[in-house]
Amino acid sequence: MFRSTLLAAVLLLAAATSRADTVELRPEGSSQFGVRNVFMPLRSLVSGPGFWYGERRVEVDTSPPGATIDLFYVRSNFQKAYKQTTAPATVLLPSRSQAGPRDSVTIRAFMPGHRSKEVRIPIAAEDERITIELDPLPNRLEGAAQSYFAGRSSLTLLTRQVPVVRVQERPEGFTVVLNETAEGPDVAASLPGLVSPLVEKIDVEQLGEDLLLRVDLSPAARSPKPELRSRQGFDAARQLHAFVIDLVPPATAASGAAAPSVERMQAALAAVGASDVTGCALAFDSGLRDALDPGALARALSPTDYRAPFLRAAMRRLGEVSPDGVITMTDGSRFDPASSLELAAAASQPNLAQGYLALLRRVTEELETPAMREASYRSLVAPELAAGSFEAALARANAGEQDCRSKTR
């Protein structure tokens, strides 16, 4: 048993060694002959000839492993050689007899999500193995969401700590720079779905210790460009800090209006009828609600920005076209939209209002072009959900509605 365990350990050690890259970092030529070379044979009597004349190698690793390492060979303050590899690595150096007294190797380690670190090793030193401990960045982007409604858009970035942000405009759009911020595990997957009539795409890149988000506006939104307005908030439920960039159309920014087309939204609400929130429309409504996270749905339907007045008006319209003229919740409670207190109570729990998701779907159909309806609807009811996941949930809800209609024919 002991022998098999020992053999397994040896094999694991050999495998780990074989995975390490071997990098030769030797400048051309030797250092100048000096006094130290004269006495080197005598010093080798103490240290052994292998110490001065043998092959010099250093095992370099990082914690966590897998970091990119830059290797600089420096002689008399001049860089003589450079290599880049990935940790762990074995670095082959000139023997101590060939190196000068001030020759050294500078090792710079970098890994996304961590602070870069640099160490210096003199060639004459005794170091044969070094592990560089990398500290995580102080902040992390946990999520990104985009809301779009009736010609106006907002980009929300959620971070663990209060972010230090720079916004730089570009011809194609703008870039958001988050200082000393790492990319969260779910951010990249959610970005492809953050599109709207104003935003064409969003790319994320870790550049050193900063995180860059490049936002490309759609061609139609580049001239004239929307005005960028930023604000910060705090999501107490998730203990995350929110940095929000509002993309305000030029006409809205100049007039100071709360929304770009109030008349269109009022007309869209007026077009909603009882058939849009009752019957088989409720099968769609309940199917989509069941597929969405209750907390995320409540946050999406309780904004504090330009959408808040519209959603309150939509809740009132829901009561007007629902049976008995009341808003019915999934728990059976009922609220009269004619009462401001009861309307406020219903609006405080919008994720429970029966028919509300179906009503918002109908309004989106009135306001948006067919190509942008799904993206606009997702940004309204599920901005935190990846586009693919929302598409699947929407398909199941639509299938449930179609199944209901086929049974009632």
Domain-embedded: residue 4: no
- CATH number of the domain bearing residue 202: 2.60.40.3500
Answer whether 80's CB lies under 8 Å from 123's CB: no
| pLDDT recorded at residue 393 | 95
- Based on the fold, state whether residues 87 and 192 are members of the same structural domain: no
Q: 7 in a domain, yes or no? A: no
| Claim to verify: residue 385 and residue 366 sit in the same structural domain | yes
394 and 316 housed in the same domain = yes
Instruction: For residues 346 and 282, state if they share a domain.
Output: yes
Q: What is the pLDDT of residue 334?
A: 96
Cβ atoms of 93 and 99 within 8 Å: the answer is yes
CA distances to 159, 189, 238, 321 from 210, in Å: 13, 19, 23, 51
d(CA 285, CA 401): 9
Position 46 scores a pLDDT of 47
Residues 128 and 143 in one domain: no
Looking at 222, 255, 288, the residue that finishes a domain is 255
Q: What is the pLDDT of residue 171?
A: 93
Rg of the chain over CA atoms, in angstroms?
Answer: 31
Q: Are residues 309 and 387 located together in one domain of the fold?
A: yes
Local confidence pLDDT in tens for the 409 residues of the chain: 445 544 444 444 444 444 678 988 888 766 555 545 544 454 544 454 445 556 788 999 999 999 999 999 998 888 989 999 999 999 998 887 677 778 889 999 999 889 999 999 888 787 889 999 999 999 999 988 888 877 788 899 999 999 999 999 999 999 999 999 999 888 877 787 788 888 989 999 999 899 999 999 999 888 888 999 999 999 888 899 999 999 988 765 444 444 446 788 889 999 999 999 999 999 999 999 999 999 999 999 998 888 888 999 999 999 999 999 999 999 999 999 999 999 999 999 999 999 999 999 999 999 888 888 888 899 889 988 877 889 999 999 999 999 999 988 7
Tally of domains in the chain:
3
Domain boundary among 235, 255, 275: 255
Q: Does some domain include residue 292?
A: yes
Q: What CATH number corresponds to the domain at position 118?
A: 2.60.40
Q: What is the pLDDT of residue 53?
A: 56
**370 in the same domain as 247:** no
- Residue among 130, 56, 149, 148 nearest 96 (CA): 56
Residue 3 lies in a domain: no
The reply to whether 1 falls in a domain is no
Query: Do the domain assignments include residue 294?
Result: yes
Same domain, 389 and 250: no
User: Which of residues 255, 280, 309 is at a domain's end?
Assistant: 255
Which residues lie closer than 8 Å to 1 by C-beta, 6 or more apart? none
329 and 341 inside one domain: yes
Q: Token pair of 44, please? A: 């080798």
Pairing of strands 240-248, 199-207: unpaired
Does residue 285 sit in the same domain as residue 351?
Answer: yes
Structural domain contains residue 5: no
Measured distance CA(98)–CA(76) in Å, rounded:
14
Which range marks the domain in which residue 305 is found?
A: 261-409
Give CA–CA dist 130/68, Å, rounded: 15
Say if 375 falls within a structural domain.
yes
| Residue 102 shares a structural domain with residue 33 | yes
CA–CA separation, 338 and 165 (whole Å): 44
Amino acid 326: pLDDT: 96
Same domain, 150 and 127: no
Its pTM stands at: 0.72
